[in-house]
Structure 1
Amino acid sequence: MSFDSFSLDQRIMAGILAAGYTTPTPIQTRAIPAVLAGKDVMGLAQTGTGKTAAFVLPLLQRLLNDNAPTRGPIRVLVLAPTRELAVQIHQSFFGLGKQTGIRSAVVIGGVGAMPQIKALRQATVAVACPGRLVDLMNQGAVDLSKVSALVLDEADRMLDMGFLPDVRKVMAKLPRQRQNMLFSATMPAEIRSLAESGLRDPVTVQVSNTAPAATVSHALYPVAGSRKQDLLEKLLNDLGKNSALVFTRTKHRAKGLAQKLAGKGFSVTSLQGNLSQGRRQEAMDGFRNGKYRVMVATDIAARGIDCERVSLVVNFDLPDTAEAYTHRIGRTGRAERNGEAVSLVAPEDESQVKFIERSLNLRIERKRLDGFSDSAARAPQYDSQPRTQQSRRPGPAPRKAIDSAATKSLLPVRSGAGATSRGDNPTSARPKAAASAGKPRQHSASANGGASARDAQPRSRAAGQSQQAEGPDGDRWMQVWGKAQPKQLLGATGHRGQDDRRASAGRTPRNEGRSAK
């Protein structure tokens, strides 16, 4: 089957020829006639199967059939989860429809809004990320009242990124009479519910379910985590002039790994969430035109990467889900070309490998390279030479709960029925049960009945210990050492202030009796 069988306009056929397309893919063969007939379509296909052209080509043809103005208002709206994917779809409309004169505008975050608003006023096709589009809708800067076709691309990824509420807000502002298309690699319950509520009697186009493309070979290399970078360097050296895409789990790992590879002489760039839109576009363009041979990226940042030169995908960090594995390896083996997907697996990742294999009904071939094995990660490594004895200085003393001056105060409490010594602050009386929680130690009290903190010379003792001693008048006293101080004596900061310490020792604060200024 050829593209001629779709009876597309010659201007569109010129775009197909310029793009280098020769034979439609399975999803294009099944989806294009349904879209041309004006039916709603639900496409289940992983990335790399040609699904973008499956809706771009027939939508361009429908706009020509309807004699739609080429410079607005917006007739076709496409929602995509990431900026890179939105730019890719926009470029597809521009490239395939270049001879038609139909204008397309892209609406994404990370760049100024005013140029996008101006472009939307003269565009017939709008490709947008949901978040930025909702912002423009709230400002009244976009008119969606004439939209006749809506496309939700990679709907499962929009769900993962939390865009579903924004998608519903956009759909609520569109005309009821419209054509709807939803494309997704997987079909979670939330996406199925969205399809049931937004699509009318859709034609379901399913290609290989969630299974990876048949043009991609899979391999798994067991390796210790500390040797992953060395193994990656060997794989890249054996790659020749082809391009490779390396996936990491976090943006910090992507940035750090790219810097290390660049230090080893590799032509490498990174694509991760901390980059500005200008830097992201520069990285994408450099990777596509061959300036960079290696790109290190995260899952979300790599959505929309469409580079035919990618022959190797490396999972430096194993993905969390089977769907993420499918999306990753879909960056290679595109358009019926052959590709290779390699996963570097540490021993602790083996259970995740089994889960991915079970979910995709796929057996990944285990391979080994000389000098690289996971055995190093299974057994601890020891130095052949004994370690020399090194002197160790004692660490700092534990930090006390209250300041050192407060810990030296002794709170005399008469062992009788709550009676206190003359001159003592009544609030300094501590309940005997609580005060006796620590271990006793011998300590002498001052000759007068009201022992003060200055008179007492306690030995160094851990906070919270207490002492029962016999006073000269025959009374028993409880001397409390450390952090267990009554709350009434604590200042605003939680420590005993200077006046509080004097009050507990039976002394008058220095400023007592002074008139307030």
Structure 2
Amino acid sequence: MLFSELGLSEPVLKAVEKCGYEHPTPIQEQAIPIILEGRDLIGASQTGTGKTAAFALPLLTKLQPIGKPQILVLEPTRELADQVAEAFAEYGEFTGLKVALLYGGVGYGKQTEDLKNGADIVVATPGRLVDHFYRGTMRFGEVKALVLDEVDRMLDMGFLPIVRKIVNLCPWEGRQTLFFSATMPPVIAGFAKWCLTDPAEVTIARREVAATISHAFYPVALDQRDELLLALLKGTDFHSVMIFTRTRKEADAVCGMLKQHGYRGEVAVMHSDIPQKERMEALKGFKSGKYDILVATDVAARGIDISGVTHVINYRVPENAEDYVHRIGRTGRAEASGDAFTIMTADEVDFATAVENFIGKPIERKKLDGFDYTYTALLEDKPVKSVRKSKPAGPKRRRR
């Protein structure tokens, strides 16, 4: 199927063509006609499936500029909000619709100016949006479409009460609500039921690794993790690589270690302790090609859209199995191919098993050719038992 067959407007199709897209991804093919019909939607799709375009293109098709907020998109993080606002500006280039981006950690000046200048689309994080409401700079009376994106992540971050307040500020009559969540625990299912009316459901394989990604575990001895990371980088023809760590401290340490080994100007680090301005500069620098390597914690893992990431390296096996899919989903996006390496040591066998159970299939163990391995039982062909110690049982109590 072609984008031209989905019922999108000419100005939107012109922008799609300019971006070089011809064929919609599965979620776009399913969601765009539903959104054009005006129905509420509940969508669950794995990252890297083209979800932003799935809701942005049809919403832009349906609107005419009136200079007041008509589309409101809520995102859990500043980075995601920035990315989605950029997408709306790109896809809406020929529509005459203006975009305002609202998030905390920066001043109100430009944001207030953008709202006063007649923004038809507002992309915001929940806290800053409510601030603008109390300041009298954001009005909800003309909102025709509300997009709640990454709702499970908003729940994790404690935003759900504020989001509920925002939903109530928008008109209920005639409002189209689009709801996206990678997971659907009971509290989110209940929230969806409350804010949606007879929604259509679109689900794209939540637990699968995209078929375009080649991924494997690389077992190694505990004291050779850094050595193997350097060897993987040296032996790989990468254009842009993301390295994920579990903690902020570890991200800084890995970044420092890479710089010590000659990767000086081309490596950047991104985590929640770094000031917002520097985080955005690191992300923009990585997108533009100024940096070839981005070391990041999971703050950057979910949803951030950086086209052209050729490789992802997990410095450790993620403790949360779902994060594995989100992390390696940074490469192989929207039908492009990519490679993902996960460095695994003996204390991470349980986490590796959890990942395999989560995606429903075994993950290949690989050795790097030419690497001088220290012996570890992980390198044997037979399965290895975990070396993680179970918690000691508490003292037995006497019965009385």
Q: TM-score if structure 1 supplies the norm length?
A: 0.70
**Matches of residues 37-116 of structure 1 in structure 2 within 5 Å?**
37-63=37-63, 67-69=64-66, 72-116=67-111
Separation in structure 1 between the aligned mates of residue 285 and residue 297 of structure 2, nearest angstrom: 17
Residue deviations 1:442-465 (CA, integer Å, cap 9, x gap) = xxxxxxxxxxxxxxxxxxxxxxxx
State yes or no: 1:194 paired with 2:191.
Answer: yes
Map of 2:35 onto structure 1? 35
**Matches of residues 222-301 of structure 1 in structure 2 within 5 Å?**
222-266=219-263, 267-301=266-300
Over 3 Å counting, the alpha-carbon distance change for 1:16 and 1:286 in structure 2 is same
Separation in structure 2 between the aligned mates of residue 53 and residue 132 of structure 1, nearest angstrom: 24
Separation in structure 2 between the aligned mates of residue 268 and residue 333 of structure 1, nearest angstrom: 21
Q: Rg bigger for which structure?
A: 1
Contact kept, 8 Å, 1:186 with 1:323, in 2: the verdict is no
Map of 1:339 onto structure 2? 338
Q: By how many angstroms is 1:374 displaced? A: 6.3
Separation in structure 1 between the aligned mates of residue 43 and residue 144 of structure 2, nearest angstrom: 19
State yes or no: 1:351 paired with 2:346.
Answer: no
Q: By how many angstroms is 1:291 displaced? A: 1.2
Q: By how many angstroms is 1:322 displaced? A: 2.1
Q: By how many angstroms is 1:362 displaced? A: 2.3
Contact kept, 8 Å, 1:84 with 1:302, in 2: the verdict is no
5+ residue gaps, structure 1, are: 379-517
Separation in structure 1 between the aligned mates of residue 163 and residue 255 of structure 2, nearest angstrom: 34
Map of 2:162 onto structure 1? 166
The aligned amino acid for 2:184 is M
Map of 1:155 onto structure 2? 151
Residue deviations 1:102-144 (CA, integer Å, cap 9, x gap) = 0011111111122212212320000011122122223333111
Over 3 Å counting, the alpha-carbon distance change for 1:276 and 1:207 in structure 2 is same
Q: By how many angstroms is 1:357 displaced? A: 1.0
Q: Find 1:218's aligned residue among 201, 215, 218.
A: 215
**Matches of residues 302-381 of structure 1 in structure 2 within 5 Å?**
302-369=301-368, 370-372=371-373, 375=376
Contact kept, 8 Å, 1:318 with 1:349, in 2: the verdict is yes
Q: Find 2:131's aligned residue among 128, 131, 135.
A: 135
Map of 1:436 onto structure 2? none
Q: By how many angstroms is 1:301 displaced? A: 3.3
Map of 1:204 onto structure 2? 201
Separation in structure 1 between the aligned mates of residue 325 and residue 31 of structure 2, nearest angstrom: 21
Q: By how many angstroms is 1:241 displaced? A: 4.1
Contact kept, 8 Å, 2:243 with 2:296, in 1: the verdict is yes
Q: Which runs of 4+ in 1 moved over 4 A?
A: none
The aligned amino acid for 2:194 is S
Map of 1:25 onto structure 2? 25
Residue deviations 1:329-378 (CA, integer Å, cap 9, x gap) = 11111010111221111111101111121122121111123323562999
The aligned amino acid for 1:141 is T
Separation in structure 2 between the aligned mates of residue 35 and residue 374 of structure 1, nearest angstrom: 56
Contact kept, 8 Å, 2:207 with 2:358, in 1: the verdict is no
Separation in structure 2 between the aligned mates of residue 310 and residue 295 of structure 1, nearest angstrom: 10
Over 3 Å counting, the alpha-carbon distance change for 1:37 and 1:195 in structure 2 is same
Contact kept, 8 Å, 1:46 with 1:184, in 2: the verdict is no
5+ residue gaps, structure 2, are: 380-400
Map of 1:456 onto structure 2? none
Contact kept, 8 Å, 1:185 with 1:210, in 2: the verdict is no
Q: By how many angstroms is 1:151 displaced? A: 0.5
Map of 2:387 onto structure 1? none
Contact kept, 8 Å, 2:244 with 2:315, in 1: the verdict is yes
SS at match of 1:100: coil
Root-mean-square deviation over aligned CA pairs: 1.7
Q: By how many angstroms is 1:152 displaced? A: 1.0
Separation in structure 2 between the aligned mates of residue 246 and residue 157 of structure 1, nearest angstrom: 21
Q: By how many angstroms is 1:239 displaced? A: 2.1
Q: By how many angstroms is 1:261 displaced? A: 0.6
Separation in structure 2 between the aligned mates of residue 320 and residue 170 of structure 1, nearest angstrom: 33
Contact kept, 8 Å, 1:107 with 1:127, in 2: the verdict is yes
Q: By how many angstroms is 1:210 displaced? A: 2.5
SS at match of 1:157: helix
The aligned amino acid for 1:270 is V
Separation in structure 2 between the aligned mates of residue 318 and residue 242 of structure 1, nearest angstrom: 23
Contact kept, 8 Å, 2:39 with 2:176, in 1: the verdict is yes
Percentage of matched positions with identical amino acids: 45
Separation in structure 2 between the aligned mates of residue 286 and residue 374 of structure 1, nearest angstrom: 39
Which has the bigger relative contact order, CA under 8 A and spacing at least 6? 2
Question: In proportion to residue count, which structure has more helix?
Answer: 2
Q: Which moved more, 1:89-98 or 1:303-312?
A: 303-312
Contact kept, 8 Å, 1:221 with 1:343, in 2: the verdict is yes
Q: By how many angstroms is 1:3 displaced? A: 0.6
SS at match of 1:123: coil
Contact kept, 8 Å, 2:48 with 2:303, in 1: the verdict is no
Separation in structure 1 between the aligned mates of residue 374 and residue 354 of structure 2, nearest angstrom: 22
Over 3 Å counting, the alpha-carbon distance change for 1:10 and 1:344 in structure 2 is same
SS at match of 1:17: helix
**Matches of residues 309-458 of structure 1 in structure 2 within 5 Å?**
309-369=308-368, 370-372=371-373, 375=376
Q: By how many angstroms is 1:153 displaced? A: 1.1
**Matches of residues 442-481 of structure 1 in structure 2 within 5 Å?**
none
Q: Which moved more, 1:185-194 or 1:76-85?
A: 185-194
Contact kept, 8 Å, 2:238 with 2:311, in 1: the verdict is no
